[in-house]
C-alpha cells in the first residue's frame, strides 16, 4: 500500500494560551514549558463534518482520483454529535463517493489503526482505493472550567488516499485496558428498566500516567518495528509522532539518540488534535516539499484505551494541483 493523496483542514478560530489564561488559572509559560503548545484552532462557526469534508476533498484532489473511484471510506473519529449515522455515512454524498464506510475509534492512534486496516483490505483485494479521514473535536470533550485538559487539545481533520503500491513496510498496533487513565463518558437515554446510574463525565486524564505510558509504549513500538525490519534508528529519515506534547516527543527522540531535525512538530500551532495530528503533519510536510521520494518514515501514535500504533513506510511524492486563482 502507498499514499497517493493528502489533505487537512483546520477551524478558522485561533485560541492562544494567553486567551485561555483570560478565564482559566493557567499561563502561557506553564502551557509552553509543560507541553510546547502555544496556540490551537477550535471549532466555532464550522462543524466537524464540514472540516472532515474539506480535508477529504483536498486529499482526493491531490490523488488525481475521482470520488466514484474510491471503494472504501474509513473515518477515524472518537466522537461527534451524531452517535448514528456514522461520520463516514454523513460524508459519502457530499464527497461524491458511493462505497462502504465505517467509523473507527482508535483514539489518538486512530489514523494508524485505519492505515493498518486499509493495508489488510488492499492486500486481500477487498478494496483498491481507500479514503481515510481522521476528524476530531476533542475540545468538545473537556470541562472548560478545568485547566488540566482544556489547554491541551485542538480540533482538526486530516485525510489520506491510499492504494496498491510499495510504500508501507510493516505495522504494529496494540491495545490494553486502562480505563481510568483517560476517559470521557456520555450518558445515553434512560429506559424504564436500566438500573445503573449514568452521568456524563467530561474528559478525565491522569496526565502523568498517560505521559509515562505514552513514552514507554512508543519506544517499544518503534524499537520492535526497527528490529523486526533489520533497521536502526539512523535508517529512518523522519519520525512523524503523535503531536500531544513536545516533552513526550523529546523523550522518545533522546532514547533513539536521533537529531531534532528528524522529528518535525506542529503541536505548537494546533495542540493535540487526536487522530488527526499525524495526517496534518504529513500533509503540511508533503505540500512544503519536505517529503522526498524514497525517504523512510516512521509514524507512531498512542491514545486513550490504552492503544498504540506505529508503521514504517517509504515515501512517494504526491503531486499537488496548482492553486486556482480567485
Q: Interface residues for ligand UT7 in 32-91 (CB under 6 A)?
A: 34-35
Instruction: Provide CB contacts within 8 A for 14, sequence distance 6+.
Output: 39, 40, 41
Query: Bridge-partner residues for 173, per DSSP?
Result: 309
Q: Which stretch binds ligand UT7 (CB under 6 A): 119-127, 200-208, 224-232, 314-322?
A: 200-208
Task: Tell how far CA 86 is from the center of its chain.
Answer: 18
Among 108, 203, 299, 307, binds ligand UT7 (CB under 6 A): 108
Using the minimum distance from each CB to ligand UT7, give the nearer residue, 35 or 49. Answer: 35
Residue 233 interacting with ligand UT7 (CB under 6 A):
no
**Do the beta carbons of residue 56 and residue 159 sit within 8 Å?**
yes
Q: Interface residues for ligand UT7 in 137-156 (CB under 6 A)?
A: 147-148, 151
> Of these residues, 97, 99, 108, 142, which one is catalytic?
108
Sheet containing strand 307-314, strands side by side: 168-175, 307-314, 296-303, 238-241
Q: Which stretch binds ligand UT7 (CB under 6 A): 82-90, 155-163, 209-217, 261-269?
A: 209-217
CA distance 211 to 73: 32
Backbone angles phi, psi at 118, to 5 degrees: -60, -40
- In the numeric block, the cell 482544556 is attached to 150
Per DSSP, 272 falls in state B
Among 75, 214, 225, 310, binds ligand UT7 (CB under 6 A): 214
CA distance 248 to 10: 24
Among 6, 26, 80, 251, binds ligand UT7 (CB under 6 A): 26
Q: Interface residues for ligand UT7 in 281-320 (CB under 6 A)?
A: 303
Using the minimum distance from each CB to ligand UT7, give the nearer residue, 127 or 241. Answer: 241
Which grid cell is 293?
521520494
Which grid cell is 12?
478558522
Q: How far is the CB of 23 from ligand UT7 (least distance, A)?
A: 12
Among 91, 210, 225, 241, binds ligand UT7 (CB under 6 A): 210
What are the residues binding ligand UT7 (CB under 6 A)? 26, 30, 34-35, 108, 147-148, 151, 205, 207-208, 210-211, 214, 244-245, 272, 303
Amino acid at each position: 500500500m502507498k499514499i497517493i493523496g493528502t489533505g487537512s483542514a483546520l477551524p478558522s478560530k485561533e485560541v492562544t494560551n494567553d486567551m485561555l489564561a483570560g478565564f482559566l488559572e493557567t499561563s502561557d509559560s506553564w502551557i509552553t514549558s509543560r507541553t510546547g503548545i502555544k496556540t490551537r484552532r477550535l471549532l466555532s462557526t464550522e462543524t466537524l463534518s464540514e472540516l472532515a469534508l474539506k480535508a477529504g476533498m483536498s486529499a482526493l484532489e491531490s490523488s488525481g482520483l475521482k470520488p466514484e473511484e474510491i471503494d472504501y471510506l474509513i473515518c477515524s473519529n472518537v466522537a461527534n454529535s451524531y452517535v448514528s449515522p456514522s461520520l463516514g455515512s454523513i460524508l459519502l454524498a457530499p464527497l461524491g463517493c458511493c462505497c462502504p464506510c465505517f467509523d473507527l475509534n482508535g483514539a489518538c492512534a486512530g489514523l494508524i489503526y485505519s492505515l493498518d486496516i486499509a493495508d489488510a483490505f488492499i492486500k486481500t483485494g477487498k478494496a483498491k482505493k481507500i479514503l481515510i479521514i481522521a476528524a476530531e473535536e476533542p475540545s468538545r470533550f473537556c470541562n472548560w472550567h478545568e485547566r488540566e485538559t482544556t489547554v491541551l487539545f485542538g480540533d482538526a481533520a486530516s485525510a489520506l488516499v491510499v492504494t496498491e503500491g510499495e510504500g508501507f513496510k510493516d505495522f504494529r498496533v496494540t491495545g490494553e485496558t486502562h480505563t481510568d487513565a483517560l476517559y470521557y463518558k456520555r450518558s445515553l437515554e434512560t429506559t424504564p428498566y436500566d438500573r445503573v446510574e449514568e452521568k456524563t463525565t467530561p474528559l478525565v486524564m491522569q496526565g502523568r500516567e498517560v505521559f509515562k505510558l505514552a513514552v514507554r509504549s512508543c519506544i517499544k513500538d518503534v524499537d520492535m518495528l526497527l528490529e523486526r525490519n533489520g533497521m536502526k534508528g539512523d535508517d529512518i529519515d523522519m519520525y512523524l509522532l503523535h503531536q500531544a506534547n513536545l516533552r513526550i516527543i523529546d523523550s522518545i527522540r533522546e532514547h533513539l539518540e536521533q537529531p531534532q531535525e528528524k522529528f518535525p512538530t506542529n503541536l505548537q500551532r494546533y495542540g493535540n488534535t487526536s487522530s488527526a495530528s499525524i495526517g496534518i503533519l504529513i500533509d503540511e510536510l508533503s505540500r512544503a516539499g519536505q517529503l522526498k521520494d524514497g525517504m523512510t518514515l516512521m509514524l507512531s501514535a498512542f491514545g486513550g484505551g490504552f492503544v498504540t500504533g506505529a508503521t514504517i513506510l517509504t515515501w512517494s511524492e504526491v503531486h499537488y494541483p496548482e492553486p486556482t486563482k480567485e
